[in-house]
A and B are shown apart, each in its own frame.
Chain A
Amino acid sequence: DQQVKQNSPSLSVQEGRISILNCDYTNSMFDYFLWYKKYPAEGPTFLISISSIKDKNEDGRFTVFLNKSAKHLSLHIVPSQPGDSAVYFCAARPSNTGNQFYFGTGTSLTVIP
């Protein structure tokens, strides 16, 4: 039962343009959402997060948008850089459990120089 879905397994973007990665979820109890970035042969590294009381959080080139009514969040990277090429995982935590995160299957982003 995949409660967090990333329907695009891959995305290619030209350097300097905007990258938009999407994530959908089904559990209305999720109250905290995160994006992780993962390079091959490494563990995921935390990128940015948003709580359900907000609809936008920005950190430098990275912005996460949350649409609770649509159960959808997105990560915007602008401008995209070749070093951003990695797999991006969306994760969510329900309010009624401990600190268990549910992860999506990931989107592989390639930024073309």
Chain B
Amino acid sequence: NAGVMQNPRHLVRRRGQEARLRCSPMKGHSHVYWYRQLPEEGLKFMVYLQKENIIDESGMPKERFSAEFPKEGPSILRIQQVVRGDSAAYFCASSPSLGGYNEQFFGPGTRLTVL
């Protein structure tokens, strides 16, 4: 049973370009979460999605960032017009259900570098 998969593992973009980060949850998981880890900081929640629905985007910057989890295919975190401050590790996690206590399973992360 494959774990959470993220690609690319490393992404380099110039200022003003777009970054698209992909996440495939574990098989059987329908909940996806995106976190960002800036240098020397912990993981900061960005957005929580279920298939075709954004459940909680309270951690997403208001501009340039968007996320989706379509009916088919991976979840996508999209950053438009990237700036140097977007350089970070972006982690995706998935969980099987909301009810009860469920840990989240993390992918290996995508390291975004903005030149």
- B86 to chain A minimum Cβ distance, whole angstroms, is 19
Which residue of chain A has the shortest Cβ distance to B44 in the bound complex? A103
The A interface, classified by DSSP as helix, strand, loop or mixed, is: loop
- Does A65 lie at the interface of the complex (its beta carbon under 8 Å from any beta carbon of B)? no
B108, A42: Cβ atoms closer than 8 Å: yes
Cβ contact of A99, chosen from B4, B95, B108, cutoff 8 A: B95
Contact with A along B37-63 (1 / 0, CB 8 A): 000111111001000000110110000
Q: What A residues does B102 contact at CB under 8 A?
A: 99
A100, B45: Cβ atoms closer than 8 Å: yes
- Does B104 lie at the interface of the complex (its beta carbon under 8 Å from any beta carbon of A)? yes
Count: A-B pairs, CB below 8 Å: 61
- Does B69 lie at the interface of the complex (its beta carbon under 8 Å from any beta carbon of A)? no
- B42 to chain A minimum Cβ distance, whole angstroms, is 4
Q: What B residues does A89 contact at CB under 8 A?
A: 42-43
Given contacts A42-B108, A43-B106, A103-B44, contact A32 B4 (CB under 8 A): no
A99, B31: Cβ atoms closer than 8 Å: yes
B contacts with A, residue count (CB < 8 A): 29
Q: Which of B58-91 contact A (CB under 8 A)?
A: 58-59, 91
Contact with B along A91-113 (1 / 0, CB 8 A): 00000011111111110000000
Q: Which stretch (A13-21, A44-52, A68-76) binds chain B?
A: A44-52
Q: What B residues does A100 contact at CB under 8 A?
A: 33, 45, 48, 56, 58-59
A residues bordering B, Cβ < 8 Å? 4, 6, 32, 34, 36, 41-46, 49, 51, 89, 97-106
B residues bordering A, Cβ < 8 Å? 4, 6, 31, 33, 35, 40-45, 48, 55-56, 58-59, 91, 93, 95, 98, 101-109
Known: A42-B109, A106-B42. 4 other contacts (CB 8 A): A43-B109, A100-B48, A103-B45, A105-B42
Across the A-B interface, the 4 shortest Cβ-Cβ residue pairs: A43-B106, A105-B42, A103-B43, A46-B103
